[in-house]
A and B are shown apart, each in its own frame.
Chain A
Amino acid sequence: MDIKKVHIVIPIVMAGIIGYLGTKIMDIKKVHIVIPIVMAGIIGYFGTEIMDIKKVHILIPIVMAGIIGYLGIPHISRPSSQPVRQVDLDETSLVISRMSYPQPFVDKPQRTDVLLMSPWLAPIMWEGTFNRDILNAQYRQKKFVVGVATFAVKKYVRFIEGFLGSANKFFLSGHRVNFYLFTDHPEKVPSMKLAPEKSLFIIPVQNYSRWQDISMNRMDIISNRIRTHWHYEVDYLYSMDIDVQMFEHIGVEIIDTLVGTISSWQYTKPRDSNSYERRPESRAAIPSGEGDFYYAASFYGGSVSEVYKLTTACFKGVTEDRANGIEAKWHEESHLNKYLLYHKPTRLLSPEYYWDEELPRPQIIRVKRLSSVRKDLEEVRS
């Protein structure tokens, strides 16, 4: 036969086609396809220039291409192999099976500078310890609705825009959230464009002359609202202060049955220095020698039923204290701390999730997700 350089193209093209089909169906690595191509190239070059090319030599890459094809073809003609893997795969696992993320190594902890789990095995959320893509894939399928309760009473209405604007961007981005804004000035709520999954409900409330009362009565309002409305409307509910802004994503890692945030002022303190209420006359009293963490009342939540129990119990404590003429040191936060000491949260949020703006941020707080807004406390509370 009259072998021309043109004919060398044939096995190369064949190898290319089989390689393309092979990588789609089998685990042929791209490397394997190079072999016949290179061989064809070498034979072609040396054969025509130096060596005595015989028809036989051209068979070699063709045979190789044939072998690779033979191994690849059974997988094309076995359609059952596809449905078998699809058996029992739901959306989450389909998404997970397509994900690419670094392997977690058992002997390589992600963070050694902070506590990642409480002694009752509740995870503590710190940057670097979780993969939000996996969590989103697991969460999305469940179609939960999360509610956020926040109060903007009297002068606090000025914080609404900052709160909603940043929450719209950073809070459970891509997931359904109902913001329930309680205010005594509904007319002052700015009109804001929210993402399609986010909804805003404005609920008028009464204001009180003392800011402490406004703060403490939130528990009562939330508890009532759960009973009348929210247990139908949402699965999870979070209570947040309005005078905050979000700077980084707060995602589905916060979703759990009962969630408390570790206070940014007191996360390093020994339990006896924590600002728990200590006077035994108060319902919020925690004896010395007890206490896990100091939780911030600015951000807590959980399943709608657990939050119901929490707010009901805390407000009961507030009412009993009022009847006894005593007010806990840090108002409803003291009652919250007592509740969470004896009803252990199933998940904890690090101070990344509520950082007080007045504090300088140390290295271990790698990310400031939510932070209070600078304000003149005396002025805004008047």
Chain B
Amino acid sequence: MEICLFFLLHFRRHDLLESGEICSHTLPNPHSHICLDDSLEWASPLPSILPSLPRNLLHETTICRREARPAFPRWVFVLLCRLSYPQPRSLDQKRLDVLTLTPWLAPIVWEGTFNSELLDSAYKPLNLTIGVTAFAIGKYTMFVGRFVESAEKLFMKGYRVNYYIFTNDPQVIPRVQLQPGRSLSIVPIKKYSHWQEISMRRMEAINRHIAEVSHREVNYLFCLDIDMVFHNPWGVETLGEMVAAIHPGYYNVPRSQFPYERRSSSAAFIPDSQGDFYYAGAVFGGLLKQVYEFTRACHMTILADKANGIMAAWQEESHLNKRFFSHKPSKLLSPEYVWDDTKPKPPEVRLIRFSTVNKDYKEIRD
């Protein structure tokens, strides 16, 4: 029987106050405390990416140690009461059939590798808000209803979520009933004539939106395709600094067959002999600041290609793959998190959490 008393947020400042003040005596601020992991900057309700705001205004701490940032600012999960769960055993690998850790030590999230209850008990008290962007341009507005309805049941259940639906036609977006703590905002956006252009402009739009709006509202952001539906829970096991998802069509294929951009004149070029995984453009996300940097970098390479009159093989997905190759993601989602319904389900994929909706591409892209 587990008695869950309560879980307290492990606020680092709070802890230091208890354990005795640490005075950084070279600074005049009377409320000096050690400023700890800079990850706190982004998880507090008011993160700001504007470089002009000095850090000490954000959370009343001053720091006189070397200007450095931990390589992997991770949350230390704190449990303050008993939680009953099976013991992890060193010799007992849960998934023998799949890769669960990349060569750069990013976890690959598969069913069976994590304990949702444990993660929820650590994350819920943090009062996070998670943002979701999705683009519904032209005929793609027809997917919004199913997307949001299924997300309400299965995406980050129990957490605050803000949906940002980017569309050129706000009127046709259906009003979906949302759970408490969740909101939907419509972001008007221009419609370009070619679907490829629409696709590639997403990076720029997300980047701009972060700078203008979402940096005030969310801690983590996921950028998802709208023409998809949630079938199974998608929870906080997906949260990380920078998160990418493995494309369902190429997860057991040699790297020379990945549909990377192969023309060296493109900024998204990856040679035959290189590459880790082929990541899906339909799902990426992470800490807000990282997503801001990521979308900025992708947009820069897209513009560079434009200047050279070249368009990458798979539009922004090629640029996304290039970026993730040179700046490796800190967490990977298995194809459970981005599945293609037209594919038969292999044994490795035990659960399909998020998957495409069948559609006639010709009809909706015109």
Contacts and interface: CB of A to CB of B under 8 A. Distances in A.
A92 interface: yes
Nearest to A112: B96
Interface range, A side:
35 or more
B308 interface: yes
Main secondary structure of the interface of B (DSSP, over half): loop
Interface stretch (B51-59, B187-195, B296-304): B296-304
Interface in B235-292: 237, 246, 251-252, 254-255, 262, 264-265, 267, 269, 271, 273-277
A120 B254 CA distance: 30
Contact of B66 (A81, A129, A232, A309): A232
Contact of B91 (A81, A115, A290): A115
Nearest to B262: A27
Contacts of B17: none
B111 interface: no
21 contacts: A75-B265, A78-B308, A99-B274, A104-B276, A106-B246, A113-B91, A113-B93, A116-B100, A121-B331, A138-B71, A138-B104, A235-B66, A235-B68, A236-B70, A257-B70, A270-B89, A303-B37, A313-B19, A316-B19, A343-B77, A346-B76
Interface in B1-19: 10, 12, 15-16, 19
Interface string B68-83: 1111111111111010
Nearest to B81: A342
A382 interface: no
Contact of B254 (A92, A103, A270, A316): A103
A346 B74 contact: yes
A121 B107 contact: yes
A305 B12 contact: yes
B327 A130 contact: no
A305 B88 contact: no
A333 interface: no
Given A84-B304, A106-B335, A312-B20, 13 more contacts: A96-B325, A103-B254, A107-B348, A115-B90, A119-B85, A231-B22, A253-B105, A255-B71, A257-B73, A292-B88, A308-B34, A344-B79, A351-B90
Q: Which of A106, A235, A256 has the most B CB atoms < 10 Å from its CB? A: A106
B210 interface: no
Contacts of A109: 93, 95-100
A57 interface: no
Contacts of A350: 90
Given A344-B122, A350-B90, A81 B264 contact: yes
B362 interface: no
A178 interface: no
A139 B80 CA distance: 33
B34 A305 contact: yes
Contact of A117 (B97, B104, B107, B254): B107
B19 A114 contact: no
Given A115-B88, A289-B84, A130 B237 contact: no
